[in-house]
Chain A
Amino acid sequence: CTSIVAQDVGGTLYHARNLDFGLFMGWDTKNHTWLIAEYLHPLVVNLDFTRNGTTVYKTVNFAGYIGVLTGMKPGVFSLTLNERFNVNGGYIGLIEWILGYRKAHWTSFLTRDALEKSNSYEEAVDMLSNTEILAPVYYIVGGSKPGQGAIITRDRQSLTNMYSMAPDKGMWYVLETNYDNWTDPPFFDDRRTPGKKCLSGVGNKKVDFQTIYDVLSTKPVLNQLTTYTALMQVNKGTLETYIRHCPHPCWAW
């Protein structure tokens, strides 16, 4: 996955992501695609969660999946969830949970809870930073006010690191793939360098849906695992989703 929160010169925030999934889950030798990623394409849906006839939050989901990997509370905040690979991974949390230790929350249920219950960017960041969870993940959160954008690096029990944008210091965006931002990504899966190169090339004077979509359309940020691209602007409550296809030759991840 690749998630971006970027701020334009006027202080407007944009939050976007590529959702990559299905690694090592069957390779279609004929079409050079991942089988599960292909099966996920028709499952992509935009959801509008309503109460009393009013939108409470919007998400992009795979039909049948009830947690939230991409979502937005209009006017308040947006969030995305990226996988974080770790030996102390989700399977351990899951086993603990099955054995009766149920204090930890499911990572994608916590995001839905945050959309449901948090009424500010700060509340959402606090909830996603300090709630015990089953698996290590990256929560990427964007707000409605200038400077509200952060990558929350989580292990299962606690907050590992918080990396926030600082537009006044020239850090007008945060970009997260699937590796800790204080370490170099592995040479065999470096989507961070091309993503940052393309975004920096755009500059904050031109950042908008169009230019962020271009960044997320560039290989290998776009790859054979990419199922969809989502673009969110919290203040307007806009969420656009595009089901993706990476033309050959395209890197497998």
Chain B
Amino acid sequence: QDVPPYTEDCQHGMYPSKARSTGVPPTFKINLDLDPQIRWNEVMKHKGANVKAMIDQVKKLISDVSPQLVDLVNKYLPEIIEKLPAPYDAEILGISKATGIEDGEILLFNIFYEVFTM
């Protein structure tokens, strides 16, 4: 179909074709016996740079709307982290420490789904 919304006939034989997939993601273990602050370290060792790139892009989009909003994220969101239930508070701080990304920005990523129901 050449006009939106680009519906089409039901597809067949796609699995596990790469025609509409760019591959499979890696698998990591999260050891719940470890301290929450360090249990995400292995994931962040491999994906930290990608997380930073994504958050930088979100900050750019927010900044395009209002540069002050980014300052608010770093000023107020860290205060929320300490009020999160365990182990989520420590896990966010651990990811921040492992990646060098501000903890408020890690929280920003984690509240996307709550906020976007608007």
Contact = CB atoms under 8 A, between A and B. Distances in A.
Interface of A: 21, 23, 25-26, 35-36, 39-52, 56, 60, 62-67, 69, 81, 83-87, 89-91, 93-94, 98, 102, 106-109, 134-137, 188, 190, 194, 197-198, 201, 209-210, 213-215, 217-220, 222, 228-229, 240-247, 249-251
B7 interface: yes
Contacts of B4: 251
Nearest to A193: B7
B5 A46 contact: no
Interface residues of B, number: 63
Contact of B20 (A36, A69, A84, A246): A246
A37 to B, nearest CB: 10
The 9 A-B residue pairs with the shortest CB-CB distance in the complex, in nearest-first order = A63-B47, A90-B114, A198-B10, A213-B15, A64-B51, A39-B54, A89-B118, A46-B27, A89-B117
Given A49-B32, A90-B117, 18 more contacts: A25-B58, A36-B58, A41-B22, A47-B43, A56-B32, A87-B118, A90-B115, A106-B114, A109-B85, A188-B5, A194-B7, A213-B16, A214-B14, A218-B9, A218-B10, A245-B21, A246-B20, A251-B6
Given A48-B29, A91-B118, A35 B50 contact: no
Interface of B: 2, 4-16, 19-33, 40, 43-44, 46-48, 50-51, 53-55, 57-58, 61, 80, 83-85, 88, 91-92, 95, 99, 106, 109-118
